[in-house]
Amino acid sequence: MSEDLSAYDAAWGRVRDRLRAEIGDAEFKSWLGPLHLCGVDHGKALIGAPTRFMGDWVRRHYLDRITALMVKECSDLGSVEITVKKAAERAPQRAAEAPRAAPAASASRKSAAPPGGGDVSAPLDPRFNFDNFVVGKSNEFAYAAARRVAEANHAPFNPLFLYGGVGLGKTHLMHAIAWHIRERHPNRRVIYLSAEKFMYQFIRALRYQDTMAFKDQFRSVDVLMIDDVQFISGRETTQEEFFHTFNALVDQNNQVVISADKSPSDLEGMEERLRSRLGWGLVADIHQTDYELRLSILANKADRLGAQVPQKVLEFLAHKITSNVRELEGALNRVVAHATLVGRDISLEATQEVLHDLLRANDRRVTIEEIQKQVAEHFNIRIADMHSARRARAVARPRQVAMYLAKQLTTRSLPEIGRKFGGRDHTTVMHAVRKIEELRATDPGFSEDVDLLRRMLEN
């Protein structure tokens, strides 16, 4: 190791300033701020990170840039290595030799609590309560489970794991649970936060070497709710901490509520023991909405907005916007806002105009099931024959047409399409697509038929 680090320290200081300017204050503070120069060894600068997690991150994201800048600053340096070492571990005699060592010595930081770390719970949206949640077939199970948890004095199932696609009401239900409990039992500690925020808090605790407080904070709550847990997939250290927190709470029979976009067993990048643990309580999924539910949600929402929306418009929206509730609400908001602005009543024409772009995007989403149904009706065969092994021309041809249309009108891959047709191989689908293209080229009547089907499905 080199005798005097002061020249390198000065260089490191300039490199830090440069990096701060390049990546911005927030990012810098999280990742590069806690780094320090711990030594130089045979032309290699050793930069210490306080934890392995941070070291890995810095290596992956910033090492090249740090190396380039350091090498430019010091002509005798050839490389940079990131090691895991707390600033305090820097050899004391060297610190004495180089008085400009370790910026804002981290020893004083050790005991300081992370700033702004008061209430870890994220704010709750006042609209997200049980009263405003419209129940239908697709969400009744998740709703009932959420209510049970909210009303119970002892965790009825632990954890409650809610999952479903984007915008289908997971966050709404979690906030509703929190509201309900806070209202009835003001002294129970309920914490709701996103998995991302959890991760962020944890990393901050690591950085301030304050993981004890972090652990206490989470392990002393009555109800812990972590939203969108898929976001900690692939983050080993966070998963590890989450796993321990989770176990501690469940062992004490304190309620844990988790949400994700997939079922526990489908969560990729998640440690196996955590995945299986997440599925131990009650797993409740929220399905895609159906028309009835969309219509009641719209009616409910229009009511709350105090807007006069003709039934026809509500039906039109419920029919057209099938993606998720968030988009549905957004569409209604736009229609109402527009009408208020231009001072006119809401009409079907105005609605179509205002939502032009949105409607087009939703139009393109034809499902394979819809295609199968329409094609079966058109050729007068049973829908079941779309999946059956029967090879008679009278059913095989329509099946091929449906596969062809599925390829044309959806973004599904050949194997996915094959699966939806009674688990057929992707080569069968490919063959069907070619066959129909051939027939269309030689038989104008048939081609017209297929075009007609296509137009019907696109509308």
Query: For residues 259 and 160, what is the distance between their CA atoms, to the nearest angstrom?
Result: 8
Unique residue bearing structure tokens 């740090």: 66
Tell me which stretch binds ligand ADP (CB under 6 A): 32-40, 91-99, 166-174, 241-249. Answer: 166-174
Determine if 163 is a binding residue for ligand ADP (CB under 6 A): no
Taking CB atoms, the residue at the shortest distance from ligand ADP is 169
Determine if 325 is a binding residue for ligand ADP (CB under 6 A): yes
326 binds, among ligand ADP, Mg ion, none (CB under 5 to 8 A by kind): ligand ADP
Backbone dihedral angles phi then psi of residue 148, each to the nearest 5 degrees? -55, -50
Which residue of 34, 39, 55, 169 would you call a contact of ligand ADP, by CB under 6 A? 169
Residues 287-306 that bind ligand ADP (CB under 6 A): 297
Determine if 166 is a binding residue for ligand ADP (CB under 6 A): yes
Query: For residues 421 and 1, what is the distance between their CA atoms, to the nearest angstrom?
Result: 68
Query: For residues 204 and 30, what is the distance between their CA atoms, to the nearest angstrom?
Result: 8
Q: Are 134 and 293 in contact (CB under 8 A)?
A: yes
Query: Which secondary structure element, helix H or strand E, spans residue 36, and what is its range?
Result: strand 36-41
Query: For residues 3 and 256, what is the distance between their CA atoms, to the nearest angstrom?
Result: 54
Binding mask 144-183 for Mg ion (x = CB under 5 A): --------------------------xx------------
Total residues interacting with Mg ion, rule: CB under 5 A: 2
Q: What residue type is 156 in one-letter code?
A: P
Which residue of 53, 57, 128, 161 would you call a contact of ligand ADP, by CB under 6 A? 128
Query: For residues 115 and 436, what is the distance between their CA atoms, to the nearest angstrom?
Result: 66
Which residue of 15, 45, 54, 168 would you call a contact of ligand ADP, by CB under 6 A? 168
Determine if 218 is a binding residue for ligand ADP (CB under 6 A): no
Determine if 134 is a binding residue for ligand ADP (CB under 6 A): yes
Query: Which secondary structure element, helix H or strand E, spans residue 219, and what is its range?
Result: helix 211-219
Determine if 194 is a binding residue for Mg ion (CB under 5 A): no
Q: What angle do CA 35, 230, 117 make, to 5 degrees?
A: 50
Cis peptide, bond prior to residue 159, ω within 30 of zero: yes
Nearer of residues 56 and 196 to Mg ion, judged by Cβ = 196
Which residue of 262, 326, 334, 426 would you call a contact of ligand ADP, by CB under 6 A? 326
Using CB under 6 A, list all residues that contact ligand ADP: 128, 132-134, 139, 164, 166-172, 297, 325-326, 329
